[in-house]
Amino acid sequence: MDALVSKSKLKEALAIAERAAAKSATLPVLSNVLLSAEKNIVQVSATDLEIGLTYAFLATTKQDGKVVIAPRLLSPLLQVIATDQIQLGREGHDLLVEAKEYHTSIRSLDPEEFPIIPSPKGEEDRVDVDCRVLCKGLSHVVGMTGQSQARPEISGVLFVFEKGGLKMAATDSFRLAEKRLVFEKEQPFEGSFILPQKAARELVAIFGELPGKMTISLSPVQAAFMYESEDKASGVRIQLVSRLIEGEYPRYQDIIPEDYKTKIAISRAEFTDHIKAASIFAGKTNEIHLVIDPKQKELVVTAQSPEAGAHKARLAADIQGEYMEIAFNWRFLVDGLAQMKSENAELKFSSEEGPAVILPMGEDDYLYLAMPIRA
């Protein structure tokens, strides 16, 4: 290996790729990254065998090569090197890093032991989406996934592609979130898959602020999310590959009520503050009670516990329909309201035993559902 690289690009590549590195006592190679140089491209890759991340950028390479190194050794070194141009080479089997007065040799593992990270072959179904729009939408639902080993299908986010847009949904069986995106132009692919929560979170963290398009390539067992920088001079290409969760996602549409007996229009911020105040007295069960009084046009929020005491607060609201008293886990209500940006929220109830449907007022692309605590 003989390559002249930008320190800042290498730092960024390491920071992104090592997010996929695993801490494994049985497979120590997985806690390392694969650094390769070939045809004026330097690439850093990491995998935990569930997801794989690669970050490639343009460099000046005189000799191809690859090494497997621990990012915990290279990353701190790059932090203290002042110059942006550094030389990468080989010293025996190890990585040689040179920059002005620095001359460092970092121990390397055998590159042949590093797992192959699958890449799209060009035959897969493909969809082009806006990076920021996709990741912002995904951030609204990813926190609602479940952790059940008995039901692995709910431990991921459901993606449903239609010609005109995309639906993303997540549930842990106690709450549900659905976000809908509309494409600028129709896409040829129609289908669905379940993306594991970890991969979904990494998508948001890595690609969430990147401008431009992302290409999603799909096979029956995996999805690849590929981004190419609009700055052609940098040659930056980032790819996340993830296995998909097998199984059939629950028909969550069946639990969304079609008719409602009570509807509430309320200030989202005020309602959130009242829930948080009540939560102080909710105890270990996180249980708060809502008293919905259409005659008084008010929502009463109460909570009590033997250890903390009791709390009651009244909130003016536009209420239509029947009087109801319902108990909820306060965290589930706050989580749904936090994903909304609208000034007001709409709450809809079909019964005291049924779920609460919460919608941002004036928007129709997000739906949140929370199940009540039943006596």
Read off the pLDDT of residues 94-113 as tens digits, 9 standing for 90 and up.
Answer: 999 999 889 999 999 999 99
**Residue 187: per-residue pLDDT:** 81
List, for residues 296-306, the tens digit of each pLDDT value: 999 999 999 99
**Residue 300: per-residue pLDDT:** 97
Q: How many CB atoms lie within 10 A of CB 187?
A: 19
List, for residues 6-41, the tens digit of each pLDDT value: 999 999 999 999 999 998 768 889 999 999 999 999
Q: DSSP labels for 77-96?
A: HHHH---SEEEEEEETTEEE
Helix (H, G, I), strand (E, B) or coil at 186: coil
Q: How many CB atoms lie within 10 A of CB 17?
A: 25
Q: Is the pLDDT confidence value at 262 over 80?
A: yes
Q: DSSP labels for 155-176?
A: GEEEEEEETTEEEEEEE-SSEE
Q: How far is the CA of 34 from the CAs of 15, 125, 190, in angstroms?
A: 13, 28, 35
Q: Is residue 119 very low, low, confident or very high in pLDDT (cuts 50, 70, 90)?
A: confident
CB 111 within 8 A of CB 68: yes
256-370: same fold as 125-253? yes
**Residue 375: per-residue pLDDT:** 65
In the chain, domain spans: 2-113, 125-253, 256-370
**Residue 229: per-residue pLDDT:** 93
Q: Which two tokens stand for residue 194?
A: 């379940």
State phi, psi for 371 to the nearest 5 degrees: -80, 140
Q: How many CB atoms lie within 10 A of CB 201?
A: 17
| CA-closest candidate to residue 334, choices 283, 269, 255, 281 | 269
CB 212 within 8 A of CB 131: yes
The overall average pLDDT reported for the chain is 95
Under 8 Å CB-to-CB from 12, ≥6 apart: which residues?
Answer: 55
CB 161 within 8 A of CB 192: yes
What does the pLDDT average to over 220-245?
94
Pick the CATH number of 125-253 from 3.90.1640.10, 3.10.150.10, 1.20.1250.20, 3.60.15.10: 3.10.150.10
**Residue 367: per-residue pLDDT:** 97
CATH fold group of domain 256-370: DNA Polymerase III; Chain A, domain 2 (3.10.150)
- Architecture of the domain whose range is 2-113: Roll (3.10)
List, for residues 72-88, the tens digit of each pLDDT value: 999 999 999 999 999 99
Q: How far is the CA of 16 from the CAs of 51, 67, 229, in angstroms?
A: 13, 18, 15
Q: How far is the CA of 164 from the CAs of 182, 190, 363, in angstroms?
A: 6, 9, 18
| CA-closest candidate to residue 106, choices 93, 125, 123, 120 | 93
Q: Which two tokens stand for residue 233?
A: 């001079």
